[in-house]
Structure 1
Amino acid sequence: MSNQYPEKIVYDLPGFLEITAGEFITKLEEQVASLPELIDIKMNNKITQLDKEDDLFVARSDSSTIVAKSVILAMGNGSFVPIKLELENEEDYTNINYFVQKTSDYVGKDVVVLGGGDSAIDWAMMLEPLAKSVTLVHRRDQFRAKLSSVEKLKQSKVNIITSFIPKELKGDKNNLQSIIIESVKDQSSQELFCDELIVSYGTISSINYLQEWGLDVINKKVEIDLQSKTHIDGIFAAGDVTTYQGREIQIVLGLAEGMQASASENQYLHKGIKQRPIR
């Protein structure tokens, strides 16, 4: 969150009318830092192998080996890269963005946003009062974002273009100047001039190693039960890496799953010992 869109406003966290992703992550980091005697943080340490040896789990990275009695998986969607346009010269233009780092970079500019999900609409709405103009282009008639967000979008000053797809990029050296879009219905085209282009088509994640570790993976997600247990005894999971029937993709749900995974892990580590419930 804080790396890809630190200034994006989050609205669905209890206790906050609104808070930026960066601010929320900072608060979580401060909370973790308050427990140095319980939590040992290892940064830049990508686990590539997980094995069970006797009653212990051995996690290996390129630089270290960690031995533990249990494991909680909470890696979100894994390592990921943004889905790109795959149009000629796309890599040459420095004003094509896949994540919004600073909203101040868009002040007084003509901005085109490509996409139809929550992120695309959120960015269009956030930049609308700052930019000179904001145009949102979606390839379908219907948006796949939350209905409340779509209604707010329709009431805003954002220029909405549906049933069009990007076909060509035009620019001078490293600077994109316009984008040609084409109707999926009659193949008519339009040229949209812009100072900044935001491509919000989502990301491609890679968590193939989870299957190599022997976990049950469904549509790139680890299947868990309501106690956040995987099918491997001693391995638990929480957050966007997980799946179960009826799961919603919400930050607050991922936090609750983290608590449940911790409680289940605690019971696993202290089998037979009656404990006070975690509150």
Structure 2
Amino acid sequence: MTQALELYDMTIIGGGPAGLYAAFYSGMRDLKTKLIEAKEELGGRLLIYPEKMIWDVGGVTPIRCEHLIRQMIQQAHTFDPTFVLGQQISGLERLEDGTMLLTAVTGEQHRTRTVVLALGHGVLKMAKLDIEGAERYEVTNLHYTVQELESFHGKRVLISGGGDSAVDWANALEPIAASVTVVHRRERFGGHEKNVKRMKESSVDVRTPYVLDRLHGNVSGDAIEAVSIARVNAEGLIMEETEQLVIDAVIVNHGLRGDFGSIVDWGMDMGQWDINVNEKLATNLPGIFVAGDTANYPSKVNLIAGAFTDAVLAVNSAKLYLEPAAAKVAYVSSHNAKFKEKNKALGMAEEDA
């Protein structure tokens, strides 16, 4: 059966920024590549925040997540790699010929010579609100992400959380919502300092250290019409009586919970949320490399730009693993023959326009 499977030089597991850029750059290294994503769409963690603005990608002016995802996917298709969606890889078997057999949870198999793990923090799920009966409001006005800012126009919004996304949403909603209240169980916010300062200097009502204690439904019981918040001490215990606030929408941002699945059993040197690699982005298992949030090494840069660099290093290492005499890096695109015909096509398109 394994002989009938098409053999790839590289299989990338994960379709976020690191995986997508690895798919592009592997084409510059003449590697036959397949990318496998557990979800039914590409984009990774960025899919959770489609309207969030991204400012820190080099050479790219502020851009919405959804637009950046679209551009990364388009770039990833440049050299026609194979894309497989909706398969979560769980099994790894080394075959007698030195290749590897990857098996999905659903049973599909893939044969490859190298692997690049671009898993982010695994299959991500939003941490749900730990209040009894909260799930009944998820179809109305309890939200775990912001898909469309305008849907909150003129509404009284309460945000529970203190990370980057909670702060970003508060700043984005402040000019369009009737009111925005943020409750966070700690005095210190986890968001970028500049954004936290902007939030605190705006009309956003910031309550710390407070927690969301109760949800009060309307008469029909299908939507939240008020919430109770409570002040807490350093141990998270309620210190005083709760205060009730009338609201139109609740947004919860209590973080993400990731799951690597059975990949944790492959025998790699792992941390709680990542995989330890060397300066070549190589794991302790031959032929397996890591890129993006999954990779842990001393000089790690936790930015999208850092994920792109990880992808380049991992792909270059995989190329040298397969062909030790190969060039250490690909020629830059301005001098790379692989782009000659593509540049011609672009020139013709500009003339036609």
Q: TM-score range by the shorter chain?
A: over 0.9
| CA displacement at 1:2 relative to structure 2 | 4.7
TM-score normalized by the length of structure 1: 0.94
Partner of residue 90 from structure 2, selected from 45, 48, 54: 48
In the alignment, does 2:265 pair up with 1:180? Answer: no
Map of 1:129 onto structure 2? 175
In the alignment, does 2:278 pair up with 1:225? Answer: yes
Q: How far apart, CA to CA, are the structure 2 residues paired with 1:141 and 1:202?
A: 17
Offset from partner CA, 1:110-166 (integer Å, 9 cap, x none) = 111111111110111111112111111111111122212211212222111111111
| CA displacement at 1:221 relative to structure 2 | 0.9
- Aligned pairs for 1:141-180 (under 5 A) are 141-172=187-218, 173-180=221-228
Q: What secondary structure is seen at the aligned counterpart in 1 of 2:229?
A: strand
Contact 1:179 1:192 in 2 (8 A): yes
Contact 1:135 1:159 in 2 (8 A): yes
Q: What secondary structure is seen at the aligned counterpart in 2 of 1:75?
A: coil
Q: How far apart, CA to CA, are the structure 2 residues paired with 1:157 and 1:205?
A: 34
Q: What secondary structure is seen at the aligned counterpart in 2 of 1:50?
A: strand
Q: How far apart, CA to CA, are the structure 2 residues paired with 1:6 and 1:15?
A: 20
Map of 2:268 onto structure 1? 215
Offset from partner CA, 1:147-188 (integer Å, 9 cap, x none) = 122112122221111111111110121101111011114323
Q: How far apart, CA to CA, are the structure 2 residues paired with 1:228 and 1:263?
A: 10
Query: What is the number of residues matched between the two proteins?
Result: 276
- Counterpart of 2:67 in structure 1: which amino acid? E
Over 3 Å counting, the alpha-carbon distance change for 1:7 and 1:128 in structure 2 is same
Q: How far apart, CA to CA, are the structure 2 residues paired with 1:245 and 1:191?
A: 47
Q: How far apart, CA to CA, are the structure 2 residues paired with 1:246 and 1:201?
A: 28
- Aligned pairs for 1:1-279 (under 5 A) are 1-36=45-80, 39-54=81-96, 55-61=98-104, 62-93=106-137, 94-172=140-218, 173-185=221-233, 186-271=239-324, 273-275=325-327, 277-278=329-330, 279=332
Over 3 Å counting, the alpha-carbon distance change for 1:3 and 1:162 in structure 2 is same
| CA displacement at 1:80 relative to structure 2 | 2.0
Q: What secondary structure is seen at the aligned counterpart in 1 of 2:263?
A: helix
Over 3 Å counting, the alpha-carbon distance change for 1:276 and 1:253 in structure 2 is closer
- Counterpart of 1:7 in structure 2: which amino acid? E
Contact 2:91 2:263 in 1 (8 A): no
- Counterpart of 1:275 in structure 2: which amino acid? A
More helix by share: 2
Over 3 Å counting, the alpha-carbon distance change for 1:276 and 1:73 in structure 2 is closer
Superposition RMSD on alpha carbons, in Å?
Answer: 1.5
Over 3 Å counting, the alpha-carbon distance change for 1:257 and 1:195 in structure 2 is same
Q: How far apart, CA to CA, are the structure 1 residues paired with 2:328 and 2:191?
A: 41
Offset from partner CA, 1:200-256 (integer Å, 9 cap, x none) = 010111114222111111112111112111111100000111212353421111111
User: 5+ unaligned residues in a row in structure 2: which ranges?
Assistant: 1-44, 234-238, 333-353
- Counterpart of 1:176 in structure 2: which amino acid? I
Q: How far apart, CA to CA, are the structure 1 residues paired with 2:121 and 2:298?
A: 18
Q: How far apart, CA to CA, are the structure 1 residues paired with 2:172 and 2:320?
A: 44
Q: Percent identity?
A: 29
Q: What secondary structure is seen at the aligned counterpart in 2 of 1:177?
A: strand
- Counterpart of 1:119 in structure 2: which amino acid? S
| CA displacement at 1:92 relative to structure 2 | 0.6
Contact 1:208 1:220 in 2 (8 A): no
- Counterpart of 2:310 in structure 1: which amino acid? E
User: 5+ unaligned residues in a row in structure 1: which ranges?
Assistant: none
Q: How far apart, CA to CA, are the structure 2 residues paired with 1:193 and 1:215?
A: 50
| CA displacement at 1:27 relative to structure 2 | 0.2
Contact 1:210 1:217 in 2 (8 A): no
Over 3 Å counting, the alpha-carbon distance change for 1:86 and 1:274 in structure 2 is closer
Q: How far apart, CA to CA, are the structure 1 residues paired with 2:326 and 2:109?
A: 32
Contact 1:59 1:67 in 2 (8 A): yes
Rg larger in 1 or in 2? 2
Contact 1:178 1:193 in 2 (8 A): yes
Q: How far apart, CA to CA, are the structure 2 residues paired with 1:261 and 1:276?
A: 11
Q: How far apart, CA to CA, are the structure 2 residues paired with 1:125 and 1:169?
A: 24
